[in-house]
Chain A
Amino acid sequence: MWTLLFLALFFGLLAAGMPIFLVLGACAAVLFMVSGQPLIGVAQVIIDHLNSSTLMSLPLFVMAAAFMRQGGVAKALVDVSAAWLGGIRGSLGLVTVVACTLFAAICGSSVATALAMGTILLPAMIEKGYPRSFALGVIGASGTIGIVIPPSLALILYGIVAEQSVPRLFLAGILPGLLQAAAFFAWVWYDARRRNFPVEPSLPFREKIDATVKSLPALAVPIIVLVGIYGGIVTVTEAAALAAATALVVSLLFYRGFRVSQTLSVIADALRSAGTIMLIVATALAFGHWMTESGVPAQLVNWTLAHQMSTWMFLLSVNVLLLVLGCFLEVVAALLLVIPILAPALKPLGVDPVHFSIIFTHNMEIALVHPPVGLNLYVLSTISDAPIGEVIRGILPFLILLVIVLGIITYYPPLTMWLPQLVYGN
């Protein structure tokens, strides 16, 4: 009875268009009151959970990505991909996949990746005579790579909530991300031949080298992050600060997308968008705190064990649940609501939490592009003035590929686990 009332309150407030941090905060307050705990507990949980140095890597990575995006790095990455892929049919489509993968190694967010690349590549593809639905599809789908290739904001949050090592999660995301990129690449290559897309002229060797040299400063950022973290030189948070500082220097010195005097403004904007996440994190953790104390996760574990649910059945039902949730909630909110409940159930069911993190983020990638509510769909529809139906038509083949890749990730754990186990052992 209480549960039903509570669910009605939760979804009612969501439907009223209330900010998500507020919905979670209000619900947490109601739960604390109903269970007779003083409300000061909510405030205490919020301010204590925000006091996490790992969590601070998130705003710092957002800052790094903001410098890179405003600084004109996206263009350098597009140029270097275009220089090497010229001469192949449908090369701009292939460029999109490669440039998005490179940008994903700088930026931890899918929508930001789609946006950064879309604003450059969409007009270019339309001008060269690519079908608009294809252009929108390949940009929207390739953008989703941003969430799984490190640094990934979603994996940082997962690491905090599920108490897993963030560097390990980052490693786990690399191969699945590359597999996804390879699948997209192959499809674009095939589709370009089938539909006879335009060919860009192949550039002379000198220009290829030129474009590569120009992209090197941009690629320094992911290299610093990876070497720093996996060389055991810095913590994740320090790596994020280092990435932000490098990105700032690179943007000001090499690409000059903004001026020194605009630096504070770019930082304020970065903190603004990181702030939307941090506030949701704060109230969601208060919510999750109550949830854990209420014993719901323990009941879930008992229930699944009592029904002798096998691992693959559990994973399949989680996949379906997450895809449905993705229709209502965006990545951060879904993660913060679901992981506190599911995380305790993973070990007893024989699912590795690191493996599960990639299953989860990949599910959320699909949620970002699956009709009717995927966020990437709306971003693209907005920047291109194309009706949402056209975006969906373009993204459909990629959506099918994403589901196939999800199947592989879910039922072939070595793809995810091999790299972290190689570096850190079991």
Chain B
Amino acid sequence: MNQRPDTIWDTIERTLVGLLGAIAMVIGLVQVVGRYLFPAYAISWAEEVIVYLIIWGVMIISSQLVRTDGHVRPDLVLRLIPPAGQRWVESFNCLVALAFSVGMVWYGWQIVDTSLMLDERSSSDLQFPMWIYYAALPGGGVLMTVRYLIRLYRYLFHFDPATMTVGHHLPPDHEISGSLTMQEPR
């Protein structure tokens, strides 16, 4: 998918994820420093909260991964197919992705609902309400559903073989992200 300039929505997503990551890092630091330097103020729930922050971050950023075609996928076969064929294969992929994202929202919501009903808390001192963590799943699902709808719409009605076939958005972007890496800010 060709690269469009960031909209406000993209900026909000990225800034939010940046903040979640930064807080996670700082909390980890505070726990270590607190334990050795200021035992009176030490916290013990850092690793638990880091999980909640990072998983929310990952679920939000998965929306960006759809937009920039950053999800890891093998495209060797796809490259051999002519653009017109790729269009339909990609549309099919979008449909499966939509089914999965909607499933995330639907079943994720049921998990959140049950957790709210039972007033489920984490077992640490913090007694964190678990529904907030569980809500990351349907939350990410909603964002991905919207992004995949946009993607499907573009493949069906605004298909541009010059920019929307594989090979035109080649590495470094998605192939590299394929393998445990980080990349330049775009």
Taking the complex as formed, is B160 at the interface, i.e. its CB lies under 8 A from any CB of chain A? no
Closest to A278 in B: B58
Query: Which single member of B20, B57, B76, B180 contacts A109 (CB below 8 Å)?
Result: B180
- Asked if A241 meets B58 with Cβ closer than 8 Å, knowing A16-B92, A29-B103, A234-B32, the reply is no
Q: How far does the alpha carbon of A147 sit from the alpha carbon of B62 in the complex, in Å?
A: 24
Q: How far does the alpha carbon of A176 sit from the alpha carbon of B152 in the complex, in Å?
A: 47
Taking the complex as formed, is B82 at the interface, i.e. its CB lies under 8 A from any CB of chain A? no
Closest to B140 in A: A279
What bracket does the count of chain B residues touching chain A fall in? 35 or more
Q: Contact check, A50 vs B181: say whether CB atoms are below 8 A apart.
A: no
Q: Which residues of the other chain, B, contact A31 by a CB distance below 8 angstroms?
A: none
Q: Which residues of the other chain, B, contact A379 by a CB distance below 8 angstroms?
A: 171-172, 175-176
Q: Contact check, A115 vs B73: say whether CB atoms are below 8 A apart.
A: no
Q: How far does the alpha carbon of A234 sit from the alpha carbon of B72 in the complex, in Å?
A: 32
Q: Which residues of the other chain, B, contact A358 by a CB distance below 8 angstroms?
A: none
Taking the complex as formed, is B55 at the interface, i.e. its CB lies under 8 A from any CB of chain A? yes
Binds B, one of A177-185, A197-205, A269-277: A269-277
Q: How far does the alpha carbon of A72 sit from the alpha carbon of B87 in the complex, in Å?
A: 40
Q: Which residues of the other chain, B, contact A401 by a CB distance below 8 angstroms?
A: none
Taking the complex as formed, is A408 at the interface, i.e. its CB lies under 8 A from any CB of chain B? no
Restricting to A54-71, which residues have a CB under 8 Å from any CB of B?
A: 55-56, 59-60, 62-63, 65-66, 69-70
- The DSSP consensus for interface residues of chain B is helix
Q: Contact check, A66 vs B182: say whether CB atoms are below 8 A apart.
A: yes
Taking the complex as formed, is A382 at the interface, i.e. its CB lies under 8 A from any CB of chain B? yes
Q: Contact check, B180 vs A332: say whether CB atoms are below 8 A apart.
A: yes
Taking the complex as formed, is B29 at the interface, i.e. its CB lies under 8 A from any CB of chain A? yes
Q: How far does the alpha carbon of A24 sit from the alpha carbon of B166 in the complex, in Å?
A: 21
Q: Which residues of the other chain, A, contact B172 by a CB distance below 8 angstroms?
A: 115, 379, 382-383
Q: Contact check, A62 vs B32: say whether CB atoms are below 8 A apart.
A: no
Restricting to A16-75, which residues have a CB under 8 Å from any CB of B?
A: 16-22, 25-26, 29, 39-40, 42-44, 46-47, 50-53, 55-56, 59-60, 62-63, 65-66, 69-70
Q: How far does the alpha carbon of A20 sit from the alpha carbon of B70 in the complex, in Å?
A: 11
Taking the complex as formed, is B126 at the interface, i.e. its CB lies under 8 A from any CB of chain A? no
Taking the complex as formed, is B51 at the interface, i.e. its CB lies under 8 A from any CB of chain A? yes
Q: Which residues of the other chain, B, contact A269 by a CB distance below 8 angstroms?
A: 182-186
Closest to B73 in A: A19
- Asked if A245 meets B75 with Cβ closer than 8 Å, knowing A40-B111, A115-B172, the reply is no
What are 25 A-B residue pairs whose CB atoms fall within 8 Å in the complex? A14-B74, A16-B93, A20-B74, A21-B72, A26-B100, A47-B137, A56-B24, A59-B57, A62-B180, A112-B180, A154-B180, A238-B32, A241-B25, A263-B18, A263-B22, A264-B18, A267-B18, A269-B183, A272-B177, A273-B177, A273-B183, A275-B57, A276-B65, A329-B74, A383-B172
Q: Which chain B residues have a beta carbon within 8 Å of chain A's beta carbons?
A: 14-15, 17-22, 24-29, 31-32, 36, 46-48, 50-51, 54-55, 57-58, 61-62, 64-65, 70-78, 89-90, 92-93, 96-97, 99-100, 103-104, 107-108, 110-111, 133-134, 136-137, 166, 170-172, 175-186
